[in-house]
Amino acid sequence: MESRVVVITGASSGIGAALARQLGAKGHHLTLGARREALLKEVAADSAPDAIPVVTDVTRRADVDHLRDVALDTFGHVDVWVNNAGRGASHVVMDLTEEDVQSIVDVVLKSVLYGAQAIVPHFQERGTGHLINVSSFMGRVPLASYRSIYSAAKSAVNILSSSLRMDLRAKYPGIHVSVVMPGIVDTEFHKVAQTPIPIRAGDRAGTTLVETADEVAAKIVALLDHPVAELYTAPQMADIAQRYYQDVGAFEERMGAHR
């Protein structure tokens, strides 16, 4: 794998931190963004000698633009941008408040828009680049109703990514837009969202979608050399999604039987 310049948001923990460490171990040049400065500096120190930690609040467009500018000023260009920042929320639809909705939309959806609008013009100037948006399988199949607004925002990320990919396809074939859809990932996300990690998911007893951050990160590392439009990080997820859309009503009825 050739050395690349990679920007990662949400890099202080979870998938972002695991990805930074794996890419750093392979000799890539990293610019890492997150809000928690101390943790971010630890990840940068553990990942690569020239990794640059940049305190970044992805809900602020100016912060995201600054993250890009630091990467360009330091390395001269960017090859890969990973929109990974996110947060969880656990509310069924009827319990959602305006604050719940706005906070998730800001972190999960608008941050992806800010990242894309910050870096894609640079990719267009170079005629090449790879934008990776970390979404969720719950944005494709609503496995947990208490993740209502989170799943809805991730679904919007999927559509936003597809629309951008279609916009770029004809004139900029060297620019790739990928959506990564993990299942349930064993990270502090669930502590923040105040929900347990489910021991089973899908519509068959015993089917698990639980992955580690390192497992998901390894799939993203491989994606750099083999870009695809959509990546389900757990093999069984594509099959579950297909069955969900074949008969939504029947799928949801089977899901209810396992609760």
The per-type count for the chain, helices as H runs and strands as E runs, is: 10, 9
114 catalytic residue (yes or no): no
Compute the distance between CA of residue 55 and CA of residue 210 in angstroms, rounded to an integer.
30
Phi, psi (5° rounding) for residue 4? -130, 160
The alpha carbon of 180 is separated from its chain's Cα centroid by a whole number of angstroms, namely: 6
Structure tokens at 226: 């083999």
- Count of other CB atoms within 10 angstroms of residue 153: 26
Catalytic residue among 114, 150, 232, 244: 150
Residue 101: left if φ>0, alpha if ψ -120 to 50, beta else—which one?
alpha
Buried b (16+ CB within 10 A) or exposed e, 89-100: bbbeeeeeeeeb
Which ranges of 76-131 would DSSP assign to H, the alpha helix?
98-104, 111-126
Residue 165 burial by Cβ neighbours in a 10 Å radius (0-12, 13-18, 19+) = middle
Instruction: Kindly state the helix (H) or strand (E) to which residue 181 belongs, with its residue range.
Output: strand 175-181
Q: Catalytic positions, please?
A: 150
